[in-house]
Structure 1
Amino acid sequence: MHDHAPTGGIRGAGNRRLLAVSLAITSVVMVVQIVGAIVSGSLALLADAVHMFTDAAALVIALVASIVAARPANDRRTFGYQRAEVFGALINGVILIVLSVWVAIEGVQRLLAPAEAEVAGGPMLLIAIIGLIANAVAMWLLSAAQKHSINVRGAYLEVLGDLLGSAMVIIAAIVILVTGWARADAIASLLIAAMIVPRAIGLLREVASVLSEAAPQGMHVQEIRDHILGTPGVVDVHDVHVWQLTRGAPVFTAHVVVDAAALQHGRAGGILSSLQDCLAHHFDVAHSTFQLEPAGHPENEPHA
């Protein structure tokens, strides 16, 4: 006995449109930064353009994963394809780690041996400001959806990295314009890497939690047990399992022992509705499955 299928994740067309718009913004800014790097001779702008290129690829991955996740369930994949967004987020997390390592290596090299070429600080600053504004718009578009989708969150973190990169380039450009100190590029690169790594690790940790079918963060099984036991007619509960298909799509199953009198008087349907409403309203679990059992039945279960 169970209620409707899960509806979490990024299956909505609205989120896919957000990813598409963010991809368009990222791609345009990337081209502008490449042109600006050539005109100004700025290595920082070129590095930020590479950063944008990597993020554009990650957004493509997120968009493709969201389209795959929207496919309906079938007899072989009874929960549908929502896990596709988890794998997309895994790829995004790996990209973030690789990118941060590359930025750190480049930053150290520039710090030890700063480039001798002249950098036109004016064009560098102008292009960086354009990038900052564009990334802020993309982050604003994704800010609400990333709270409910692990894959959109991966894309959100990519754009956040872009925004931080643009901010660092702006600061470096101002320092170069005012003082001519070339090592500002190297310091900015190291700061970018330092801010990306913790977020990437957090995303990968969340992916690992989903794939290992751990209980969603903030959801306490004992609290759910207490709510179930407080339902009139319920005697006991066992074999409780809670996991999530992806962010925002928790799944719950349990065996519930019901008073024999309640079953005899046909109250099983009411008890089931009460249990499902409890899970939906108190714990935001849209997909819950309960096996109602008469008292004495658990002794026959292999693992109570």
Structure 2
Amino acid sequence: MAVGHDHGDGHSHGPTLSKDAPEEERRSKERAIAIAAILTGGFMGAEVVGGLISGSLALLADAGHMLTDFASLILAWLAFRLARKPADWKRTYGFDRFSVLAAFVNGLSLFAIAIWIVVEAFHRLRDPSEVLGGLMLWVAVGGLIVNILAFWVLSRAEGDNLNVRAAALHVMGDLLGSVAAIVASLVIIWTGWTPIDPILSVFVVLLILRSAWSVVRESGHILLEGAPRGFDTRAIASDLAANIAGVARAHHIHAWSITQERPMATLEVDIESGANAQEVRLEVKKRVQELTGVEHVTVEIADGDARSDHG
């Protein structure tokens, strides 16, 4: 058996967003996370005080959400900071995967928040309490302004990064919570009907849970070394055998992602007798890249009669 590997030209295992992404792109995302954290953390205290004084569950729920958002944004920011550390012999891919772990934790925290809000809303509906609609309105308007600014900053930097996307989802939940609090306060001011406060709180929860599940599912898929989106090992094996001259069989095909932006693949190719191993390897690598968009492809050539050079 002759074995050869092709890792692709110019590939580095260092912590980059993607093969050709500049470091400035990473830093811009890191700055966006930091700005959003400052905005969220700065207003959180005011919302807690306003919620306690006004008696509004919508405000308290939003304040609790902002507290977890602040922690989540700090975690997301820390993930970018850790990703700067270079790869070493122990961690050959560096710390890029930490950002996926941060996204997974942030997604799960949204479910914890949702459970707390639903339970509290149930208690409020059973035992309604007085809500100061005027104070609630002003605090909610302030929260809306802060959340719009934070979401705008994050949405400009989001791209395909799961970590930033999870952070933006947290802020979106806050933004919707502020809108719900404004609507609830206006209803209370005009009609005095306080059950609108917990009802709208639950409505906001239902709006964000679908997106929260999406983040948890995608980040969990990466953590479990699942294949990148659109990577079908069966289709690739059939395509290579049918379209690349000299390929007898493609097998042991594996694909995974370090982060959402760093997919990788390995495969073994049995070549026909007399085929040039180096040429087949290059053609297979090119074809897999065209079919899947995965830049880092490792190809192993195996054939008893073929001569293989290491690329």
Q: In structure 2, how many angstroms separate the alpha carbons of the residues matched to 1:174 and 1:76?
A: 58
Q: Tell me the SS of whatever aligns to 1:262.
A: coil
Structure 1 residue runs of 5 or longer lacking an equivalent are: 298-304
Q: In structure 2, how many angstroms separate the alpha carbons of the residues matched to 1:18 and 1:2?
A: 33
The correspondence of residues 35-184 of structure 1 with structure 2, limited to 5 A, is 35-37=49-51, 40=54, 42-116=56-130, 118-119=131-132, 121-143=133-155, 145-184=157-196
Q: In structure 1, how many angstroms separate the alpha carbons of the residues matched to 2:28 and 2:273?
A: 48
1:35, CA displacement in angstroms? 4.7
1:5 is aligned to 12
Deviations 1:14-67 (A, max 9, x none): 211111111122122323423544665544323312211111011111111222
CA RMSD of aligned residues (A): 2.5
Contact 1:258 1:295 in 2 (8 A): no
Relative distance call for 1:284 and 1:138 in structure 2 (3 A) is farther
1:195, CA displacement in angstroms? 2.4
Q: In structure 2, how many angstroms separate the alpha carbons of the residues matched to 1:247 and 1:176?
A: 45
1:249 is aligned to 262
The correspondence of residues 9-28 of structure 1 with structure 2, limited to 5 A, is 12-28=26-42
TM-score by length of 2: 0.83
Identical aligned residues as a percent? 36
1:191 is aligned to 203
Contact 1:259 1:295 in 2 (8 A): no
Relative distance call for 1:138 and 1:290 in structure 2 (3 A) is same
Contact 1:238 1:255 in 2 (8 A): yes
TM-score by length of 1: 0.85
Structure 2 residue runs of 5 or longer lacking an equivalent are: 1-5, 307-311
Kindly provide the amino acid, as one letter, of the partner of residue 303 in structure 2: P
- How many pairs are equivalent? 291
2:301 is aligned to 292
Kindly provide the amino acid, as one letter, of the partner of residue 188 in structure 1: L
Deviations 1:243-297 (A, max 9, x none): 112222211000122344332xxx61x4433333333344221211111222679
Contact 1:108 1:190 in 2 (8 A): no
